[in-house]
Each structure stands twice: as C-alpha cells, then as structure tokens.
Chain A
Amino acid sequence: MADIDQIMEHDHERLDQLLGQSAHAVSTGAWREAAHLLEVFRHGIVDGHMVVEESTLFPAFERKEGGDDHPLTALLRKGHQDLRIFFEEMAEAIQDQDAETFDDLLSTVQSILKQHDAKEEMELYPYLAAALPDRGEAAGKRILACEAETPS
C-alpha cells in the first residue's frame, strides 16, 4: 500500500475531479446529473476524507505536536466547517437551477480547497507516517475503501 501522504494527496485530486465534473454538468444545464455528481463529491469529501482526517489524522498530529489547540489543525477544522456549509449552498443552487450562484460558490470553494489542500500536503501529511502507530495503514485503507465505492 502507498504511504498515507500519497493516498491523501491522490484523494484530493480525485475529489477535485468530481467537483469539476459537477461544475461541467452545471455549465451544460444538466441539472440532475450535476446534483448527482455534487452528492458523490460531497459524500466522498465529507463522509470519507474529512471524517478520516478529523477522527484519526488531526488527533495524531495534535498528540505529536502538543495538544488539540494547535493552530494548524484548528484552522483546518474551521475550513472543514466552512466547506460543509458551502456544499449545502451549492446543492441548493443546483436545486434552484441558479448557475450564477453556483459559479460564485464554486470559485470560492475552489480557492478554499486549493489553499486548504496545500496546507495539508505541506504541513500535515508529511508528519503522519511517523505520528501514527500503524504508519497510517488503517487510515489509508479507509480512504481507499471510500474511493472504491465511488460510482464511475
């Protein structure tokens, strides 16, 4: 199995592609497809990626780096909280068939994800293999299982 940092970075790329597919469907007016693709993306990032990070990776980093008030994980948790709300707002824009609002939200969400992912990839993931007792194997398996259940 690949290292946990490679697995998480690959998952970022996979999720970015799913979001891009939903955005493309919006641009062509394929609203039902857009809603489905956004839900696949939301499920993958919220119920998979974020859950693994918040339940396993962030606590491991915090144990290693001195507590649950660490600025890096506090900022990343805040980012997750914001993103969950943005995903709900994007789903509502699709439901309302409001491409203008969706595009505004997409622009902001893509900016957040770009900065958030870069922070994780540069400052968090490189430490995890050493911080996790199993070197990240269990967390990696959970991410790979989420990827495997994503419909093509």
Chain B
Amino acid sequence: MSEYHGCELPEDLFYDLDYVWVRPEDDGTLTIGVTDPAQTMSGRLQKARIKKIGTHLDAGRHVATLESGKWAGGVPVPFAGEVIARNEALLEDPHLINVAPYSDAWIARIKPDDPQHALDNVKTGPDAIEALEAWIKRYGVQCMRCSD
C-alpha cells in the first residue's frame, strides 16, 4: 500500500486518476469506489445516491452521486456496463466512504459490456500512483483517518 500526504493508494487497484478506483473481480465484474484523497477533499459525506441494479450506463456516466456540506459530485464509470450490485449500506450511512473508502465503502459492482477493453481508460501500477500523488499535491490534500 502506497501512502502520500497520509492518503492510502493501494497499488493493486486501477484508477481513473481523478476520483475513482476500479477493482477487477474473479467473476469478470468490476467494483467501483472513490479514492482516499477524493473522499478527503469531498469532506464528511452526508448523502449518497446509487443507480439501481439493472441500470445500464455508458462510459463516463455517473453510477452514484455524493454530497457533503461543502461538495457535491458524481462518480463516473470509466467503461460501459450494467449495475449488478450496489452497496446499500452507503445509502444509510454515506460517511462510511470517509472511513473505509477501499473496503466496506465500495459503491457498485458493474458487469462491463466489453470485458476485453473495460480497463482501457484506467491506469494501475507505479505510473498511476505517481499521477495520483501529483493530484494530491495539486489540490494540497492531506488525508487523515476517520474513526467513526
């Protein structure tokens, strides 16, 4: 696990180099969430809406919208696909994203239309970590762990 300015950046995930991480699952689906620096910049999240199971999304469309007291925005999917699962716990407790952005606070699981090319627009490995560190530096983000 890389860490920069206190922000955790798991090296095994794929990133859109902005807000979103993507994790390939064994069954060919892809799990999506938001990164540690992104949740930090957003502030304490108070509202989360996630698209219903069965919704088809084109690449770039929002699978979820999140709101804090100082920020609101969408969570875009980097590939086209169908929502096959969503994290219902986040609808009740959006703040979970601030606490465990890479584990308990996954947002949705998507079945990609084109599995061969679903990861074409995301990056992983050292280049991705370097780009995310530049993102953290640009916005002056300092991550701190929330305990509740």
Contacts and interface: CB of A to CB of B under 8 A. Distances in A.
A115 B65 contact: no
Contacts of B61: 85, 89
B74 A86 contact: yes
Nearest to B72: A111
6 contacts: A69-B138, A79-B73, A82-B62, A85-B60, A85-B74, A85-B76
Contacts of B76: 82, 85
A130 interface: no
Contacts of A105: 65
B67 interface: yes
Contact of B67 (A78, A82, A111): A111
A105 B140 CA distance: 29
B138 A112 contact: no
B62 A86 contact: yes
Interface in B1-36: 18
A82 B74 contact: yes
B117 interface: no
B72 A108 contact: yes
Contacts of B65: 104-105, 108
A100 to B, nearest CB: 11
A89 B73 CA distance: 13
A69 to B, nearest CB: 6
Contact of A71 (B18, B62, B72, B139): B139
Interface of B: 18, 49, 60-62, 65, 67, 70-74, 76, 138-140
Interface string A112-131: 10010000000000000000
A112 B73 contact: yes
Q: Is the interface of A mostly helix, strand, loop or mixed?
A: helix
Q: Which size bracket describes the interface of A in this complex?
A: 10 to 19
Given A69-B138, A71-B139, A104-B65, A112 B72 contact: yes
Nearest to B41: A75
B133 to A, nearest CB: 14
A138 interface: no
A30 interface: no
Nearest to A79: B73
A115 B138 contact: no
A115 B62 contact: no
Contacts of A69: 138
A121 to B, nearest CB: 16
A145 interface: no
A85 B19 CA distance: 15
